[in-house]
A = this chain, B = another copy of it.
Amino acid sequence: MERAESPPPGGVRADARRSRARLLEAARTMFASEGVDVSFNEIARRAGVGPATLYRHFPQREDLIAAVVGASLDEVTALAHTLDAELDPAGALSQWVAALVSHIRRVRGLSEEIMRALEVPDSPLAPHCAAALAAAETVLVRAQQAGRAHPEATTDDIVKIATAIAWTGEQSDTTTPATDRLVALVLHGIIGPGETQPLHA
């Protein structure tokens, strides 16, 4: 979906279009290498535009973040339906959570942005979060109906816990297995009536 703001009558000027594209490209590469907390001024520098131009196109930092990583978040959302169709209830739920965690982990600092967007609903990232919550409902409800998920768990719980696990070890590039462990542990439950399945999901 496109920006809701109506473009000027004569259409968007060519230089504006070009600036926006360069900013997005610069942000994409810098987010991927340095994380979401890179200097705003440096993104502008890298894009070859003035700082004010960056602010004109993306008034809030989160606007830029949403423009860059929103689509990637939507991918995970879409994945839920695939998993739901192909796997058993418990499998679909746990695979989806694992996928969500690994997606969030791909950009340093993203977990914090998502957590904020979950709390303040007028964030630019909020629509993508809402979509993810809807996707979570698909897999969660099915697992609950099959008696394979706690009946009181909510989609909010699921997404928050996934985000929190993704945040874990964000400081020092912990390898994926470490967070996989936590996902498995959380999903299988720490205190329970003595199930002894091994932890590797």
Interface residues of A (CB under 8 A from B): 90, 93-94, 112, 115-116, 119-120, 143, 147-153, 157-158, 160-161, 163-165, 167-172, 174, 181-182, 185-196, 198-199
Assess whether A196 is in contact with B151, with CB atoms less than 8 Å apart: yes
- Decide if A150 touches B186 in the complex (CB within 8 Å): no
B residues in contact with A149, CB < 8 Å: 190-191
B195, A190: Cβ atoms closer than 8 Å: no
Within the complex, the shortest CB–CB distance from A39 to chain B, in Å, comes to 17
Whether A157 touches B169, Cβ cut-off 8 Å, given contacts A94-B191, A195-B192, A199-B150, is no
Cα A158 to Cα B171 in complex, Å, equals 18
A149 to B185, alpha carbons, bound, how many Å? Answer: 10
Known: A116-B171, A150-B195, A157-B185. 16 other contacts (CB 8 A): A93-B191, A112-B171, A115-B167, A119-B171, A148-B191, A148-B194, A150-B189, A150-B190, A150-B192, A152-B198, A164-B165, A186-B189, A187-B189, A188-B191, A189-B191, A193-B195
A167 and B169 in contact, given A157-B185, A182-B157, A186-B190 (Cβ under 8 angstroms): no
> A191 near B185 (CB under 8 angstroms)?
no
The answer to whether B186 and A143 touch across the interface, beta carbons within 8 angstroms, is: no
Instruction: Report whether A157 and B181 are in contact in the complex, using a CB–CB cutoff of 8 Å.
Output: yes
Chain B residues within 8 Å of A194, by CB? 147-148
